Amino acid sequence: MVIIKIDKDSIKENPNAGCNTYVFPGRTTVEEKDGVIIKSKELHRVYSLTREGKLLFSFIPTEIECSECKEKFLHTELESDAMGCGDDEFWSDAVCPKCGYFDCCEIEYEDIKSIAKAVS
Q: What is the pLDDT of residues 29-46, one digit of tens each?
A: 566 666 666 655 555 555
Q: By percentage, how much of the chain surpasses pLDDT 90?
A: 46
Range of the domain at 112: 2-119
pLDDT band at residue 91 under the 50/70/90 scheme: confident
pLDDT band at residue 5 under the 50/70/90 scheme: very high
Q: What confidence score (pLDDT) does residue 40 get?
A: 56
Domain count, the chain: 1
Q: What confidence score (pLDDT) does residue 111 get?
A: 93
Q: What confidence score (pLDDT) does residue 37 get?
A: 62
* pLDDT at residue 23 is higher than 70: no
* pLDDT at residue 105 is higher than 70: yes
Helix, strand or coil, per DSSP, at residue 119: helix
Strands in the chain per DSSP E: 2-4, 12-13, 21-33, 36-47, 55-56, 63-65, 72-74, 79-83, 90-95, 107-109
pLDDT band at residue 81 under the 50/70/90 scheme: confident
